[in-house]
Structure 1
Amino acid sequence: MTFQFSEGEADNFRFYLEKRTPVHSRSNSTLNRKRRAELIAKARERKRISTAVRHFFPLLEKYDTNLDGKINNQEFQNIYDHFSEEDRQALFGDLDGSNVVFKRLDKNGNGQVTFQEIIRYIEGRGLAVNQRYLGYKRQDVTSIVSYASSIFDTMLLNLKRLHMEYDDLGRTIGINTGHIETADFDLEEEDIIFLLDQGRNTTIDFLKMYAAKENEK
């Protein structure tokens, strides 16, 4: 069977299929340049947030004065005061002052911030654990269009789960369409050539793998 996935889509088996046939070359189309710029911007933002998180956790341990594994408002004030302005901006954005940030972290409003609440906040800022390897990520719904898009992506992901299991990988040609996503219809000639090359290279790699397995029998 054949299986298509882009770099911007969630996919159950993307990590395994990409290892078999990575993207060797790319087009210089308008669409690809746009997607590359978006990926670079997102990578830089993730790096900023990741650096801030690495600076944040040692402060949590240092200023948890009663060692109960929870942070109260006064403890958080100490942490915030020793957190650089650059790291504050990266991790907390435009939230102004420790009291405002503390209230955002303290989801249940009990006057204490737990480790789980902090992790949920950090994941919401774009460092979800599963996103790097499996493509799952938090979807920001800000309009009827983004809502419909999120529903559509969820439907596609569930359909893939219904019709493909791990044992199917050995008989699946997984074509990475790179920067070209499902709803990209206005493609330039370079994009079309790229898609054809990806399909051909992926099929060749699959046949080589299949032939090697047959020879081992």
Structure 2
Amino acid sequence: MAPRSKQTPDEIRDQIAKVAEDLFRRMGFTKTAVADIAAELGMSPANVYRFFPSKHAIVECICSRCLGEMEAEIRRVQQQDLPVRTRIHAVFQTILRNHLDNFIEERRVHEMVLVAIEHNWQNILAHRERIRTTTAQLLREGIADGSFALHDPEEVSAIFLDCCARFCHPVLVAQSAEEELDKGLQRTIDFLLKAIEPRD
């Protein structure tokens, strides 16, 4: 379907990215050409290149959107009226579930994930830092309400992310069974929280 003439450039970019993602999921990144994306949109390949210089640039756009959606979910979890321990568990479960739902269950998307990691590394690092900051904020809440012993939330939040890398990195997630990941994440978070419990 051709984009409406009154669409803004941002709307056209978004439409191109959504159509491309659908094709990547159905056909795979390698087998999808810019000409395929253009044909699906009813426009010329040259018009697609007006908005994205390459297929890799389209993947970067898709990756940034997916990360933004995940972060929005995490913010909702963070703001829930639940015990801080429950919210920390839920934050990392949200990350794992996003990788399982959006990437791992559709194997054709796996190559797109690899491309995104290679070409969008700075945005992924920024995303990781935002997750760490969210974890640090929750740890501060736990210190304030007596759930956790006094510690450095900046340092401990980094430890949380390092220990949970297996459950937060799509390539590593793809190497394990879903049930194993769920149980492993639960045990890891429980262990880390135990380490910062107040001592009598």
Q: Give the TM-score normalised by structure 2.
A: 0.25
Rg larger in 1 or in 2? 1
The structure carrying a bigger strand percent of its residues is 1
The structure carrying a bigger helix percent of its residues is 2
